[in-house]
Every structure is written in structure tokens, then in C-alpha cells.
Amino acid sequence: GDSVTQMEGPVTLSEEAFLTINCTYTATGYPSLFWYVQYPGEGLQLLLKATKADDKGSNKGFEATYRKETTSFHLEKGSVQVSDSAVYFCALRLTLTQGGSEKLVFGKGTKLTVNP
Amino acid sequence: GAGVSQSPSNKVTEKGKDVELRCDPISGHTALYWYRQSLGQGLEFLIYFQGNSAPDKSGLPSDRFSAERTGGSVSTLTIQRTQQEDSAVYLCASSLRADSPLHFGNGTRLTVT
């Protein structure tokens, strides 16, 4: 079945360090790919997305590129801040088919802590 | 503007009791989702509504779980005869259309004692 695998956490970095959180997927068809973020005490919110191969999603200094050949969507940021401390979830959604499900399939989440 | 609202925010119940969890989606959002978030398990899909119908109920763990949506708006997730393994955070999300980004509520934390 469709699934998302992301790197185990927790990840602890110092401020201004480079961040990579790996995400790979297995899917039938051609999924859209997403990163959601959950800040402490808040609900999940969309961070960025990519809908087709070679698309790059970006937001708040974070980037991820849809790599069909490696079925990956790794999240990167060049210089993390304390305020980036959160849990990050990679997710996929299959292309709309008539009458089909539009659910997102999520990875297990990666907790990031950034220390000053 | 108003986001997705879930109530209650916390619920403690005794094993064997029934519980109802409520979700008020963003006005005008046609798609509604329920997920369950357990420690170390990520987000587990439960059910998806498009309007009032549920094309995908595949994630409901057992027949003790049911959900409905009325008027294309409010949804209720009901868990009958709760068990300790039902303890989790239940998240609701809505989206404008099926292919739009999801907006999540803050969840209901259910504890079964």
C-alpha cells in the first residue's frame, strides 16, 4: 500500500546549523507530496508542497524537491532557528480519481529541537 | 478567520463508556478528515468525508468507531465501549476541495482510564 517513511527522530541541532530530514515514499500512481509542521501546542499546518516530479516546494526558508527517480522528498533548511523547533511530518496524496479517496498518508513525524 | 474547531479539547472517560468528539470545519470546506495521533505512531487516517458522504472509511479501527457529517458541515466521531488503546489525540482537518491543502484543528486528547 501507499506509505511514507521519514527519518527517526529526535533531531537536535544548534542554531544556524543545516537541517535535512529525509522522506521517501511508496505509492501507486503519481502522488502530491507535502511537509506539515506541528509547533508546540498548535495544530498541524502545511509547510510546503510539490505536485509533480522535479517541483520544488519552499516556505520560511525550508525547501524540498520532488524526486521521482529516488521516490524522495527530503526537507532542508540552510540555517535553522530556535523557532523552528517542532515536529515535521512528510505526507503524500494520490492524484484525484473520480469517487476515490483523497486522504493524506503521513509519516511518523520527526521531532526537531534547535538550541540557542 | 475561524479555523477548524474541535471539542472537547480534552476528554477523560472510563473504559466501556461511549464518547462523542465534535469537529466544526472551516465554512465552505467540502472535504473533512479524521485522523488519530498516538505517541510514536504518527497520524493514522480514520475516515474521509466529501460533503455528507464518506467515500473512504477504511481507517476506522473497528465497528466501535463511527462518524457522521451533517449539512456538509459539522462532523461527529463516536467511539462506543471505549478501550484503553483508544487513548490518543483525535485530529480533524478540512479542505476547500479534495485537492486543496488540509487545515487541522488542535485535536481532542482522549484518555481512557
Cell numbers that stand for B58 in this block = 477504511
Percent of chain B with pLDDT over 70: 98
Asked whether the beta carbons of residue A104 and residue B45 sit closer than 8 angstroms, the reply is yes
pLDDT tens digits, one per residue of B53-95: 988 898 999 999 999 999 889 999 999 999 999 999 999 999 9
Q: Is the pLDDT of residue A103 over 90?
A: no
Asked whether the beta carbons of residue A108 and residue B91 sit closer than 8 angstroms, the reply is no
pLDDT at B41: 74
Asked whether the beta carbons of residue B101 and residue A101 sit closer than 8 angstroms, the reply is no
What is the average per-residue pLDDT within B22-40? 92
Q: Is the pLDDT of residue A29 over 90?
A: no
Asked whether the beta carbons of residue A44 and residue B40 sit closer than 8 angstroms, the reply is no
pLDDT: which is higher, A97 or A68: A68
Which of B40, B56, B106 lies closest to A103 in CB terms?
Answer: B56
| Burial class of B2 by CB neighbour count within 10 A (0 to 12, 13 to 18, 19+) | exposed
- The answer, for A3 touching chain B at a CB cutoff of 8 Å, is no
CA of residue A86 relative to chain centroid, distance: 12
pLDDT at A53: 93
pLDDT: which is higher, B95 or B39: B95
Contact residues on chain B for A107, CB-CB shorter than 8 A: 42
For A82, phi then psi, to 5°, come to -55, -35
pLDDT tens digits, one per residue of A70-90: 999 999 999 999 999 999 999
| Helical ranges in B51-111 per DSSP H | none
Least confident of A10-14, A43-47, A91-95: A91-95
Nearest C-alpha neighbor of B98 from the set A50, A28, A93, A35: A93
Cβ partners under 8 Å of residue A49, min gap 6: A32, A33, A34, A35, A57, B101
Nearest C-alpha neighbor of B4 from the set B75, B109, B93, B110: B93
User: Band of the pLDDT at A43, cuts 50, 70, 90?
Assistant: confident
- The answer, for A49 touching chain B at a CB cutoff of 8 Å, is yes
User: Band of the pLDDT at A99, cuts 50, 70, 90?
Assistant: low
Q: Is the pLDDT of residue A98 over 80?
A: no
User: Band of the pLDDT at A111, cuts 50, 70, 90?
Assistant: very high
Asked whether the beta carbons of residue B31 and residue A102 sit closer than 8 angstroms, the reply is yes
Residue recorded with cell 521519514 = A6
pLDDT at B109: 96
Residue B42 to residues A8, B8, B35: CA-CA distances in angstroms?
Answer: 11, 21, 10
What is the average per-residue pLDDT within A29-34? 88
Closest-CA residue in chain B for A48? B101
Q: Is the pLDDT of residue A113 over 70?
A: yes
Residue B102 three-state SS: coil
DSSP per residue over A61-73, as a string? Answer: TEEEE-BTTTTB-
Which of B31, B50, B104 lies closest to A43 in CB terms?
Answer: B104
Nearest C-alpha neighbor of A20 from the set A32, A11, A31, A33: A11
Which of A42, A96, A105 lies closest to B45 in CB terms?
Answer: A105
Which of B3, B42, B101 lies closest to A107 in CB terms?
Answer: B42
pLDDT: which is higher, B84 or B40: B84
What is the average per-residue pLDDT within A1-10? 89
